[in-house]
Amino acid sequence: MLDLAPVQRRRTGVAAPSAGRDVEIVVPVYNEAAVLDRSIRRLHRFLTDGFPFSWRIVIADNASVDATPEIARRLAAALPSVQHLRLEQKGRGRALRAAWERSEARVVAYMDVDLSTDLRGLLPLVAPLLSGHSDLAIGSRLANGSRVVRGPKRELISRSYNRILRTVLRARFSDAQCGFKAVRREVLEPLMGDVQDNGWFFDTELLVLAQRRGLRIHEVPVDWVDDPDSRVNIVQTAITDLKGVARLLVAGTVARFMAVGVASTIAYALLYLLLQPLTNAVAANILALALTAVANTAANRRFTFRIQGRDEAVRHHVGGAIVFVLTVALSTGALGVLHGLESTPARSLELTVLVAASLTATVTRYVALRSWVFARRRHAIASYAK
């Protein structure tokens, strides 16, 4: 249940003390002199007339060179609960980061200055966060129940981009680009330290990192009307976003696991070639796997799953050893089949069969490490972030 009693005073338009404020709404702007006054006054009226939580509006101006700063200062002086934040460097992500880092509100949100998203979606956006039901909330133009008015070009680009996110980064949210999002401040602090982008890719990166940490993302269907006067450079933004997607892919758990796997496979092959002349193929296989398994578990612990320190290290290595037995079983079985077909196979053929068997076990090894060996620590990190 939501505690609405302490925030009924918002109906008067007078802000609550900073430490007790429920929602802070950031409006990032760059050269928006034509629409800024009208949009902020409209947003202010909407919040004053019936929004049931304490609030503040922050106009985050990122290096505008037109009359935007002057208009923002005038609005902050004239309207209660409106502040102006000026940055000398451009970047929507940079503006959001600066405003959110200084906020003391329970929930921080942002919306685009054109107010393309129907403001009636704001309460469904922030309510699940204030109740503790979710950690992040996003307006979605692609969710069931949304109503969207925009041209076919933007529709195609938006759907294609979100399809790329779902395919490449396994995103489970439907609309990364809608300028209508909110985050509980207590989960935001550990997230923003790892967000690298300061431009348009900022919120996509924030969402992907939140999903990877097991945070709860709530989607709100919204009514949205395209702004024909948008100043977004679609081509340049798309290129930048695709670069960001590639960076997150490389930094993802699967990519790091694959890198460790490739290094382990090379080390295993070299060790097998060194040991095989000194003993038989089965013994050389087991020894080479045993030596690389220890290094593989340690590398995945630190590099793939980002676990440092000695906490549960013994348990992790014991789990890794059990997973290693599976690889031994598969590779030994493959070796037995090979020797059954040919009594004295070439060393290169033995190595090829063993590497193929090891690669076959890789998927199972990844699932076991992620869902069992390192699962408890990952869940603890996600819980701490909440």
Of the residues 227, 251, 275, which one is the last residue of a structural domain?
251
> What does the alpha-carbon distance between residue 160 and residue 139 come to, in Å, rounded to a whole number?
18
State whether 218 and 313 are in the same domain. Answer: no
State whether 314 and 235 are in the same domain. Answer: no
Contact between 308 and 374 (Cβ < 8 Å) = no
State whether 145 and 264 are in the same domain. Answer: no
CA 353 to chain centre: 39
Low-confidence ranges of the chain (pLDDT < 50): 1-18, 377-386
Q: CATH no. for residue 125?
A: 3.90.550.10
- pLDDT at 328 (0 to 100): 80
Structural domain containing residue 190 = 14-251
- pLDDT at 217 (0 to 100): 97
State whether 169 and 30 are in the same domain. Answer: yes
State whether 226 and 306 are in the same domain. Answer: no
State whether 343 and 358 are in the same domain. Answer: yes
Of the residues 251, 281, 298, which one is the last residue of a structural domain?
251
SS3 content of the chain, % helix, strand, coil (to 5): 60, 10, 30
State whether 105 and 122 are in the same domain. Answer: yes
Long-range CB contact pairs, 239-242, < 8 A, 24+: 240/199, 240/200, 240/201, 241/161, 241/200, 241/201, 241/204, 242/164
Residue type present at position 345: P
Is 203 among the catalytic positions?
yes
Burial of residue 136, with CB atoms counted within 10 A of its CB: 0-12 exposed, 13-18 middle, 19 or more buried = buried
> What does the alpha-carbon distance between residue 335 and residue 353 come to, in Å, rounded to a whole number?
7
- Reduced to 3 states (helix: H, G, I; strand: E, B; else coil), residue 327 is helix
Contact between 157 and 232 (Cβ < 8 Å) = no
Residue type present at position 333: G
Q: Choosing from 22, 135, 175, 203, which is the catalytic residue?
A: 203
Of the residues 221, 251, 281, which one is the last residue of a structural domain?
251
Contact between 113 and 36 (Cβ < 8 Å) = yes
Is residue 286 in a domain?
A: yes
State whether 22 and 140 are in the same domain. Answer: yes
State whether 239 and 279 are in the same domain. Answer: no
State whether 129 and 105 are in the same domain. Answer: yes
- Reduced to 3 states (helix: H, G, I; strand: E, B; else coil), residue 142 is coil
State whether 70 and 219 are in the same domain. Answer: yes
Cα angle 106, 142, 54; round to 5: 20
- Total of domains in the chain: 2
> What does the alpha-carbon distance between residue 86 and residue 200 come to, in Å, rounded to a whole number?
18
- Residue 233: CB atoms within 10 Å: 11
0.75 exceeded by the pTM? no
Strands 55-62 and 136-140: unpaired
- Residue 23: CB atoms within 10 Å: 27
Q: Which residues contact 6 (CB under 8 A, 6 or more apart)?
A: 20, 54
Instruction: Give residue for tokens 């320190």.
Output: 309
> What does the alpha-carbon distance between residue 280 and residue 271 come to, in Å, rounded to a whole number?
13
Is residue 6 in a domain?
A: no
Is residue 157 in a domain?
A: yes
- Reduced to 3 states (helix: H, G, I; strand: E, B; else coil), residue 299 is helix
State whether 271 and 147 are in the same domain. Answer: no
Is residue 99 in a domain?
A: yes
